[in-house]
């Protein structure tokens, strides 16, 4: 208990000792050219002097280039001083107080300190704050070069700090994309079970064979979480080296996901059904259809275009979001949680993982930054300036210092879509099993949307990155579990044994020219039994819909050649989570 109180006290002291800093803007216009100006990011300390929130109330003063000096001693001052000017000086070995005291004494109405390093808040002490009455801020060296390149040396500048909006309108776009992806992915995953258990599948070649789902086991969950933790820590320490590996993996995985999402649509096209000629090339020996081959080329091309132009902030984010949504849909369709117990284990473990790396790691790192947030947004001191692509990103629609300086995009990680989405997919599969009119699927999807709204509210109130799973996991788990309890299906929901009854497969007649047709009850021909063994009379359900039987699941029957009923055997449909 004492140790916990000591940690809490240390945390309070840490936050109390932090220098107050805010993002602001410097509006620059040319004295001789067009009156149209441009805003640049600055980092200032309001304890020196406050900046006006409205540009119309800020004084437009001459910006004087004095970057040849560090302004650390009176000899660095110009002969006529800085009367009614905002000097630009470089960082040196003296303190911020030494610089701003000299600037204020020479008549300056503000001070901009140019830094080639990461911008840090210009700090001081209480006595120094009371003495100084002009604003002091840091400007990046890159922005200084852009100012003089765009406007020349004769420029005027105004310092101001507009209010930050609580929420940006781009959150609406992120909300629609996230909820839509979860709903569509969950619906698609459940529809696979509809086809598997309740529809007759017609095989039209390798392109129409769907990928098998992968059932997640507790061991796989533990291995996955360990890999996530290891990769996140490695990215934190070796970001510049591993970021290109992640970009390459994203290109490969997203092109595969895009192909998987578009192939059902392409297969409905009435043209391009001809196949590639006989050859010995890899993949082509399967004789793929021309239309599917063109689709594969298109998906790879989209991924390559994004990889080449990924840093084009104007439009590359659209391609990244499209590829990311396709990747998430593919994963939701392919990965399957067989029971609610597996869902609970996965979501709770990742819940702890998300909270730890966002809220706890700032107390363990030297910089005091969250490992999760720093890796997701890219380290400020990264030499490559690359960003991880495993997020949905939408540019900020409001003009604000935060959008200009720190985070021009709002982000939502793929994990915040995939992890709750796997539970939504399980709920839809359970709906199919118990024939509950998708009540679990709808309730869990709505709960996900509510959890996402709560995440946005927490983001607006705290003005810092939030672990979305902190809000999404309780909303989805509690809602789906409570619904199962209310419907008195918690036992089946927990273990995944929700199929009402095993559906036996009736035998099928020989395939005719029109395709295989089911036999009538009176026409069922029993297979020959070995001598000495009793014959077993097959039992068919009272009102079995014809589409429930699947000729492809009948042992020994080929979809390409007819067989006699004597070669047919009866099988029962397996339960979800078991191999069939």
- Around Cβ 135, how many Cβ atoms within 10 Å? 25
Long-range contact pairs involving 16-20 (C-beta distance under 8 Å, separation at least 24):
18/368, 19/45, 19/121, 19/123, 20/45, 20/46, 20/47, 20/121
What angle do the packed helices 415-434 and 469-486 form, to 10 degrees?
10
Which residue in the list 39, 354, 431, 550 is annotated as catalytic? 354
Pairing label, strands 85-90, 391-395? unpaired
Residue 26: closest CA among 60, 50, 71, 49: 60
Q: Quick check: is 416 catalytic?
A: yes
Whole-number Å distance between alpha carbons of 65 and 69: 10
Please identify which of the residues 39, 416, 431, 550 carries the catalytic annotation: 416
Alpha carbon distance 70, 88 (integer Å): 9
Alpha-carbon distance of 366 to 549, in angstroms, equals 63
Closest CA to 139 of 66, 207, 250, 44: 44
Could you report how far apart the first and last alpha carbons of the chain are, in Å?
Answer: 53
How would you label 288-322 residue by residue, b for 16+ Cβ within 10 Å and e otherwise?
bbebbbebbeebbebbeebbeebeeeeebbebbbb
Tokens of residue 497, six digits: 């044994």
Tokens of 393: 């990103």
8 A C-beta contact, residue 396 and residue 410: yes
Structure tokens at 303: 């991924």
Is 313 annotated in the active site?
no
Residue 522 burial by CB count (10 A; 0-12/13-18/19+): exposed, middle or buried? exposed
For residues 422 and 432, give the distance between their C-alpha atoms in angstroms, rounded to a whole number.
15
Alpha-carbon distance of 398 to 411, in angstroms, equals 15
Query: Residue 285 corresponds to which tokens in the numbers above?
Result: 């020996």
Q: Active-site positions?
A: 354, 416
């Amino acid at each position: 208990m004492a140790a916990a109180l000591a940690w809490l006290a240390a945390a309070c002291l840490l936050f109390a000792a932090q220098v107050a800093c805010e993002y602001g803007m410097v509006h620059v216009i040319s004295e001789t050219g067009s009156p149209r100006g441009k805003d640049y990011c600055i980092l200032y300390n309001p304890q020196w002097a406050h900046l006006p929130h409205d540009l119309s109330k800020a004084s437009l003063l001459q910006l004087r280039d004095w970057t040849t000096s560090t302004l650390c001693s009176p000899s660095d001052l110009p002969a006529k001083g800085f009367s009614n000017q905002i000097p630009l000086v470089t960082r040196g070995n003296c303190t911020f107080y030494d610089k701003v005291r000299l600037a204020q004494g020479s008549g300056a109405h503000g001070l901009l300190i140019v830094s080639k390093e990461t911008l840090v808040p210009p700090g001081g002490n209480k006595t120094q704050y009371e003495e100084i009455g002009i604003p002091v801020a840091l400007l990046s060296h890159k922005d200084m070069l852009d100012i003089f390149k765009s406007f020349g040396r004769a420029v005027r500048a105004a310092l101001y700090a507009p209010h930050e909006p609580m929420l940006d309108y781009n959150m609406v776009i992120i909300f629609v994309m996230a909820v839509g992806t979860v709903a569509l992915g969950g619906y698609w995953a459940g529809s696979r079970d509809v086809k598997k258990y309740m529809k007759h599948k017609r095989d039209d070649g390798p392109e129409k064979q769907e990928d098998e789902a992968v059932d997640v086991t507790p061991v796989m969950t533990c291995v996955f979480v360990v890999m996530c933790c290891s990769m996140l820590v490695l990215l934190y320490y070796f970001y510049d080296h591993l970021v290109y590996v992640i970009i390459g993996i994203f290109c490969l995985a997203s092109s595969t996901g895009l192909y998987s999402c578009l192939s059902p649509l392409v297969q409905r096209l009435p043209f391009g059904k001809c196949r590639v000629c006989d050859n010995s090339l890899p993949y082509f020996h399967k004789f793929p259809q021309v239309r599917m081959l063109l689709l594969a080329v298109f998906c790879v091309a989209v991924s390559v275009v994004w990889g080449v132009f990924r840093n084009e902030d104007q439009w590359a984010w659209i391609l990244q979001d499209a590829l990311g949504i396709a990747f998430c849909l593919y994963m939701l369709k392919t990965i399957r949680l067989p029971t609610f117990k597996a869902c609970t284990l996965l979501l709770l473990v990742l819940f702890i993982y998300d909270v730890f790396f966002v809220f706890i790691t700032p107390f363990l790192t030297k910089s005091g930054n969250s490992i999760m947030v720093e890796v997701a947004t890219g380290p400020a001191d990264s030499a490559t300036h690359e960003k991880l692509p495993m997020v949905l990103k939408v540019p900020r629609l409001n003009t604000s210092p935060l959008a200009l300086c720190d985070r021009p995009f709002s982000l939502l990680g793929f994990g915040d879509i995939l992890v709750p989405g796997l539970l939504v997919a399980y709920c839809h599969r359970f709906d199919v099993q118990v024939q509950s009119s998708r009540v679990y699927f709808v309730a869990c999807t709505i709960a996900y949307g509510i959890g996402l709204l709560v995440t946005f509210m927490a983001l607006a109130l705290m003005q810092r990155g939030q672990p979305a799973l902190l809000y999404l996991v309780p909303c989805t788990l509690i809602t789906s579990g409570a619904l199962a309890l209310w419907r008195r299906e918690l036992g089946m929901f927990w273990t995944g044994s929700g199929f009402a009854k095993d559906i036996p497969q009736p035998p099928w007649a020989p395939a005719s020219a029109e395709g295989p047709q089911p036999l009538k009850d009176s026409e069922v021909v029993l297979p020959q039994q070995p001598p000495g063994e009793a014959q077993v009379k097959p039992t068919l359900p009272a009102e079995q819909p014809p589409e429930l039987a699947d000729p492809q699941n009948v042992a020994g029957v080929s979809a390409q050649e007819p067989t006699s009923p004597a070669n047919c055997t009866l099988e029962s449909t397996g339960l979800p989570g078991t191999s069939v």
